[in-house]
Structures are given as C-alpha cells and as structure tokens.
Structure 1
Amino acid sequence: MSVIGGVMLHAVGASFAALCYTPQKKVSQWSWQTYWLAQAFVCWFLLPIIVAWITIPELMTVLEKAPSDAMWKAFGLGMAYGVGGTAFGIAIRYMGFSLTYAISIGISCVVGTLLPPFVRGELMTVLQQNGAEWIITGMIFGVVGIALCGLAGRYKEIDLAKSLKTQDSSFSIGKGLPLCLLAGVLSALYGFSIDQGQPIAEVAVEYGAGDYQSNVIYIFSNTGAFLVTLIYCLSLHRKQGTFKEFVGKGKSPLTRNYIFAIITGLLWYSQFFFYGLGHVKMGDYKFTSWAVHMIMLVLFSTVAGLALREWVHAKGKTIWTLALALAVLVAAVLALTIGNSMA
C-alpha cells in the first residue's frame, strides 16, 4: 500500500506539472524572459525556502549539521538541470513541442532512472531483486509510449499545417536534435540531484521531518536551476532591452501577468512537493520515482491537451497513434507499480 500511495502522490505531482504552463496563455505584452524569470523566482527560489522553513523542524540546525558536499552536489546538479530546461525551450523552436517533449523526456526517463544506482555501483543488484523484470518492462513501455506521443504530436502538427495551408519553415532536425539530446540528459540530472542530496534529508529525518524530508534538498537543487535561469534571462533582457516590462510597459496588464506567473510557479513547485512525498514511499526501488513521474507527466499533459481541444484538427492516423500511446503509457505505469510492490 505504501508503494501504491507513492505512485498516487507521483500522479498528483505529475498532474500539476502537466497543467503548470496553461496560465502562460493568459499572459500578454510580456516577453518570454520576463514571464519565465517571474515564475522561476517563485518555483525555484522563493517556495523551496518557504516550504522547507514550514515543513522541516529546526531547519537551521539541520543545515548546520548536513554534509556540505551533499549540498554542493545537489546545487551543481540543479544547475545542470537548469541548463537542460533552457535547451528544451530553445529546441521547441526547431523541433516543435511534441517531438522535443518525446525525445527529451524519453531520454530523461531512462537516464534519470538508471543513473543513481549506476553511480553507486548498485545497478546490477537492484535489477536482480524481486519485480525487476516488471521495472524493466515498465521503462521500455514508458519510452515507447513517449515516442508514440511524439509521433502523434508530429502528425498533429502536419495535419494542422495542411488544414491551415501553412508551412513550418523553422523546423530543423539538424539544429533541434542536438538540443533535444542535451535537454534530455541534463534534465535527467534533477532526479540524480535529489539522490545526491539524500544525506541532507537524512539529517532532517533525525529532527522529525518524516515524509517531508525531500523539501530540504530543494533549497539547493532548485536554487541551482534558478541561478542558471537568472543568468540566461538577464542576458536576454539586456540584449533585447526588456527590463522595463517588470514595472509596466504601455498598456501591459502588469498585475494580471504577475498573478499568472505566480500561479505557474505554484503549480510547478507542487510537482516537486508531491514528487518528494511519493519518492519516500517507493521502498527499495526509489530510483524508479523519476520514471514514474516522467511517464505520468507525458500521460497527463497529453490528456490535458485533449481536454483543451488541441487535437481538434487531427486526422484518423494521428488519433489512432495517440490512443495507442496513451494505452502504452498506462501499461508502463502499471508495470512499474507492480515491480515496486513486488520489491
């Protein structure tokens, strides 16, 4: 039941992640870097500190006694995750959202799951435990399902281009694919960041943090990602002269924009919060948390796209590919759940 509860908590976190960018559609007269930096400040800097302060007893004592090398590892790997997120955003310009999502998240799912036990020299051991065959099957299904989602998304983009009689002149495999690969590998390091920050969480447990122990790691992993985002966004502001958007520009609905940026940050941070709660409950196969989260993220974001009528112009082949993708993703989650339960 603990594992099932963990999967359900991952599902809640993934659902928040799937919806976190919907407020962006309501933001107007702001450049991408203004919106991105505003919401990143909330989810990667402000909330990790506030939530850790609320949920971690004697936080300052925990930070004093926690090993500094774990702090630096979590922070550094968080910075790498931030670079991956930036590469993801740029790749969308050349590959489209669907293919970028499929390739990057597919790579992140595998690398982020297998890297922690591999680095600790425990990969072969954990893959020989009870339920390992289900774990492997679930990961394979997950990657196949994500790839099918990407294929369906590409079909949808082609259908849309035909219906609107337009051409995607910016599409470029040569430019987009290397960025997708970079985004996939570096984004996977967030799960590894949580793994390397576990010694900090263990100190927090000694002071009564319980299931909220992961919140103390986010102080370092998320702020690492925020630092990279801050540097990149400030460089864009300086290049394009958009600093004035933070205080208003013409008829910019400043208050509304900030509200939607804050909502985005709250939704995005919520995925980390519930990821941490679910991760604690995954038992011997904690390393599968990243795969469960990534697969559910793709599953729920696809369902959200259907609910928002993003597939209304899709043709028969596209719909059948999408239906197959959703079925495979559901099978992947079930297989991972069975494997964790057996362990």
Structure 2
Amino acid sequence: MNSAILLGLFWHFVGAASAACFYAPFKKVRHWSWETMWSLGGFFSWIILPWSISALLLPDFWGYFGSFRFSTLLPVFLFGAMWGIGNINYGLTMRYLGMSLGIGIAIGITLIIGTLMTPLLQGKFMQLFGTTGGQLSLVGVGVALIGVGVVSYAGLLKERALGIRAQEFNLKKGLILAVMYGIFSAGMSFAMDAAKPMHQAAEALGLNPLYVALPSYVVIMGDGAIVNLGFCFLRLAMSPTISIKADLSQAKTLLITNALFSILGGVMWYLQFFFYAWGHANIPADYTYLSWMLHMSFYVLCGGIVGLLLKEWNNVGHKPVSVLVLGGLIIILAANIVGMGMAS
C-alpha cells in the first residue's frame, strides 16, 4: 500500500474523529433550545467557514463561481440540499430508535448507498467485479458494514446495561426516518462526485490538490444550510415551547459561553469535511467513490473510541466493551482491505 493511500486513510480517520467529537461542545450549552445552538453552530460550519476558506484559497472568488454554467452547479446544489435533509432526519432517527439501533441502521444504509450508487450511476458498477481492486473494494464495503453492525450491537448491549431507552421509541417512525437518512445523507457523496468540474477548475487555478474540493463546499453546504436553518427558524417561529427571545434573555456570561461552545461545535463539524477533502485527494481517481465508506465507517469507529475515552462504557460489563472492540477491529480490517484494493 503506497504512502498516498495511507495518507488518504489517515485523513479520512482524522475527519471522522472530528465528526465523532463535534457534538461534545453542544452538550455544554445550557438553557438554550436545540434549534438556537444548532443554528449558530451551523451558520459557522455551513456558511462562514466554507466562504472564508474559499475566499482565502481562490485568486478571484466571484470569478471562479461565475465561470460555471448553471447546469454544472445545479446537481451540486440539489445533492447538497439532499444531504441537508438527511442531517435533519438523523437527529429524529436517534429520537425514535435510540443511538445504537439508529446508528446501525442509518449509517449502514448511507454507507452502502453513498458508496455503491456513484459507480452505478456512472455505469461502472459491473466493472467492479472484473478487477482485483474492484472485488477487494466490494469485500471491504461488506466487511465495513459488518463492523458497523457489531459496533451498533455493542451500543445496544450498553444501553440495556445502563437502562437507557430511546426518548420516544417508535419502531415504525424510526425505521422510516433511518431509511430516509441513509438515502438523503448520501447526497454528500453524490455532491462531491458532481462537483468534479469545480475541483478541476480549482486545480487549474493552481490550488494544492488537498484543497481543490473546498470551494465546492460553498455550494454543497450552502444548500444544507438553507434546509437546516430553515427548519430551525420555522421551529423557533411556530413552536409554543421554544423561543429565540427566551434563549437570548439569559445572563451575558451564559450567552457568551453558549455562543462559544456552539461555534466550537460548528467548527469541529466543518473540520470533518475539511479533512474529508484531504483524504479524498489522496484516494486514486478510480476509487474516490470509497471515500464515503471510509468516512462513515471510521465515524462509527471513532464514536466508540470517544465513548471509551469519556468513560461512557464504565460499569456496563465486559461483554459490551469486548463486542465494541471486536467491531472496531473489523472496521480497521475493512479499511485495510479497501486500501489493498486501491493499491492493486
């Protein structure tokens, strides 16, 4: 396995680690509605950072975006909106199924769809069966799916040991939302593929290959912002139980603390896709469709590691932790199989 592929795996792992940690600052926010803190964090992660970083990278920000035809930007825009809808469904999935069952179903579906739908849409899916690299990639995806399932089962054992149950358990609603999340959140993978002309244009302007995907986030995440912020603002305006006025009437010190934690969460959220771009840039061109599989499986792996570090698995017994470790090892094995496939 060459150094570029190893770097690709490493940066995808770093991005996934940021994704696994991003919600920790939000947990420190007090006396604010979820809609308020999510909107503030999201404003930085979906608008401020993509625009600021792109403005720093591009020699002519407006000239770059103005150089594309509407037909080029439209699919990037639509897939970004698709991904934004998936984000909303993720939180609702956890609400009705709980973390372990919700993550297992939702991440499993999006891992498969986001990874394999791209070569299918490109008419290259059957070619995967005709090469050693393609065959190993398919095996790696299957092994990753098993790893996600094992880690999710460990989470289920943990919840049972701690007596944790979903906030409003509803299997029917939860399964529908999990499937919707799995389908819609794969929009990020599709958007990255649709944005290849934007990546090529950025490279032609002299941008480092590690950064060529970042300007496309202005479009991709901007659409996600429209969906997420629109949902939050609608909730704040219409819900009888939450109020932006009440959130902002807290003491000044608390307001500053809440704002800083919300912004930090937003920054960490953005960094997952900042490093996703770095990982994506180091993946061989014929295998870039595997970036989504690596990101999502590493996300599940890092979530388990973070939980162990935060002592969330204390007092749950030996079996849940052993199953968690086994699932993590299976995901690592999957990444190595995929890496060998890319190097073959």
Structure 1 and Structure 2 fold alike (TM over 0.5): yes
Contact 2:95 2:166 in 1 (8 A): no
Query: What is the CA deviation profile of residues 9-54 of structure 1, one whole-angstrom value per residue up to 9, with x for unaligned ones?
Result: 1111111111111111211000110111111111111111111111
Contact 1:67 1:199 in 2 (8 A): no
- Residue 217 (structure 1) aligned with residue 216 (structure 2): yes
Query: In 1, Cα distance between the equivalents of 2:246 and 2:84?
Result: 23
Query: What is the CA deviation profile of residues 71-113 of structure 1, one whole-angstrom value per residue up to 9, with x for unaligned ones?
Result: 1211111111111111110111111112111111111111101
Which of 7, 10, 19 is the equivalent residue of 1:8?
10
Query: What is the CA deviation profile of residues 132-169 of structure 1, one whole-angstrom value per residue up to 9, with x for unaligned ones?
Result: 222111111111111111111111111101xxxx7657
- Residue type at the aligned position of 1:236: R
Partner SS, residue 27 of structure 2? helix
> Within 5 Å, which residues of 2 pair with 1:12-31?
12-31=14-33
- 2:227 matched residue in structure 1: 228
- Residue type at the aligned position of 2:220: S
Partner SS, residue 253 of structure 1? helix
Query: In 1, Cα distance between the equivalents of 2:165 and 2:59?
Result: 56
- 2:204 matched residue in structure 1: 206
- Residue type at the aligned position of 1:340: M
Q: Any unmatched runs of 5+ in structure 2?
A: none
Cα distance change, pair 330–118 in 1 and its aligned pair in 2 (3 A): same
- 2:340 matched residue in structure 1: 338
Query: In 2, Cα distance between the equivalents of 1:311 and 1:253?
Result: 30
- 2:185 matched residue in structure 1: 187
Cα displacement (A) at 1:245:
4.6
Q: Any unmatched runs of 5+ in structure 1?
A: none
- 2:169 matched residue in structure 1: 171
- Residue type at the aligned position of 2:207: A
Contact 1:79 1:221 in 2 (8 A): yes
- 2:275 matched residue in structure 1: 274
Task: Report the aligned-residue RMSD.
Answer: 1.7
Partner SS, residue 311 of structure 2? coil
Which of 18, 29, 37 is the equivalent residue of 1:35?
37
Contact 2:103 2:152 in 1 (8 A): yes
- Residue type at the aligned position of 2:67: K
Contact 2:136 2:337 in 1 (8 A): yes
- 1:62 matched residue in structure 2: 64
Contact 1:202 1:213 in 2 (8 A): yes
- 2:301 matched residue in structure 1: 299
Query: What is the CA deviation profile of residues 154-185 of structure 1, one whole-angstrom value per residue up to 9, with x for unaligned ones?
Result: 11111101xxxx76572221221111111111
Cα distance change, pair 183–169 in 1 and its aligned pair in 2 (3 A): closer
Contact 1:57 1:204 in 2 (8 A): no
> Within 5 Å, which residues of 2 pair with 1:97-246?
97-161=99-163, 170-211=168-209, 212-240=211-239, 241-245=242-246
- Residue 315 (structure 1) aligned with residue 314 (structure 2): no
Which of 91, 94, 99 is the equivalent residue of 1:92?
94
Query: In 1, Cα distance between the equivalents of 2:190 and 2:234?
Result: 28
Cα distance change, pair 323–251 in 1 and its aligned pair in 2 (3 A): same
Cα displacement (A) at 1:126:
4.1
- Identity score, percent: 30
Size of the alignment, in residue pairs? 338
Query: In 1, Cα distance between the equivalents of 2:54 and 2:175?
Result: 37
Cα distance change, pair 155–251 in 1 and its aligned pair in 2 (3 A): farther
Query: In 2, Cα distance between the equivalents of 1:56 and 1:150?
Result: 42
- Residue type at the aligned position of 2:258: N
Cα displacement (A) at 1:314:
1.5
Cα displacement (A) at 1:251:
7.3
- 1:260 matched residue in structure 2: 261
